[in-house]
Amino acid sequence: MALPTRLGRTAAAAALSMVALAATPGAAVAEPSPAKARAKLVKLNEQADQVVERYNQATEAYKKAKKKYGTLNTELRLKDARAVALRDDLVRLAVNDYQFGRLRGWERFAGQADPQAILNSMASFQEMTESRAAKIRAYEAATKELRDRRNDAKTTLAEADAARDKVSDEKSKIEKLIAEQTKLLRRLGAFKTGDPNSAGIKYTGPASGNARVALQFAFAQVGKPYRFGGTGPGSYDCSGLTQAAWRQAGVELPRTTWTQWSWGSARRVPLNALQPGDLLFSKGLGHMGMYAGNGKMVHAPQTGDVIKVVNLDDYWRTRLLGAVRP
């Protein structure tokens, strides 16, 4: 049965309105403001920072395992080659012994007139054979022990590789979300690309000694872009910046935020007694920076931002876990 005319017109109008709404890009969901978009990106980066730190740790563990495996593998090849050479030497000795004429033990030395010389020659021959055999046994024992260590290192390498792949998948998912949010910020004109060749700014704070050297370097990086896993010279992540800065002062820090916090377990200082150059760590160890003095911090913030100097105001202080003095 046909619908009443008025009801039919109402339904048709509603359907057309829905079609028009669906066909209008962005009509259903309004784009957020740049401030909201950046706030969301900050949250994503906080998650990403922790994942990236785990990824960096997994990568460092993989590198160490790979290096150990490579070293042991090379050492094993050399020992294997030495053992083969010794075995070949013993085989040649046995062949020569056989080719000497299949003579009885004393007959091969019968051409010598001096009986004592014969005995000495026979003893020497026997000692030489036993010595080579002993060396082979020793090398084979050492080779077996080394092969066991190499195989253990190979297992560790495989486990480290699997762990890195697992974190890498998690990292890829978050990076995809960050990429989408970054596109939005670019569209809104709120994305900072930074300049990999930035000359930074001059440090004029109260630091002295090694801390001043580290801060002078960090300030010279201001304006360069943040990049996941960045260790310079054109871009840095948060721990990459602190590591590079203190390296200039002759202090070698570990690679990641977590390992720098662990490294400083005996060097931690109260947040109410900060000195320039102290490393500042956020709760969760997803981010870090360096205290510059006068209530300021220099750090590499997150994707879509640049290395900068900020006031260590209440916002940052409430996020801090602790500080380490290199």
Whether residue 238 lies in the annotated active site: yes
Distance CA 304, CA 226 (A): 7
Q: Is 2 helix (H, G, I), strand (E, B) or coil?
A: coil
Both structure tokens of 283: 């709760």
Q: Given 132, 164, 287, 308, which residue is catalytic? A: 287
Name every residue whose Cβ is closer than 8 Å to that of residue 288 and which is 6 or more positions away in sequence: 238, 239, 242, 257, 260, 261, 279, 280, 281, 282, 299
Name every residue whose Cβ is closer than 8 Å to that of residue 292 and which is 6 or more positions away in sequence: 203, 205, 207, 215, 218, 219, 276, 298, 309
The full DSSP string for 179-243 is: HHHHHHHHHHT------TT-------SS--HHHHHHHHHHHHTTTPBB-TT-BSSS-B-HHHHHH
* Nearest Cα to Cα of residue 256 among 286, 213, 220: 286
User: Which residue stretches of the chain are H helix?
Assistant: 5-23, 34-99, 115-188, 209-220, 238-248, 257-263, 314-317
Q: Given 54, 150, 299, 308, which residue is catalytic? A: 299
Distance CA 199, CA 6 (A): 72
Both structure tokens of 322: 């602790």
Q: Given 238, 285, 300, 306, which residue is catalytic? A: 238
Whether residue 299 lies in the annotated active site: yes
Whether residue 261 lies in the annotated active site: no
Q: Which residues have a catalytic role annotated?
A: 238, 287, 299
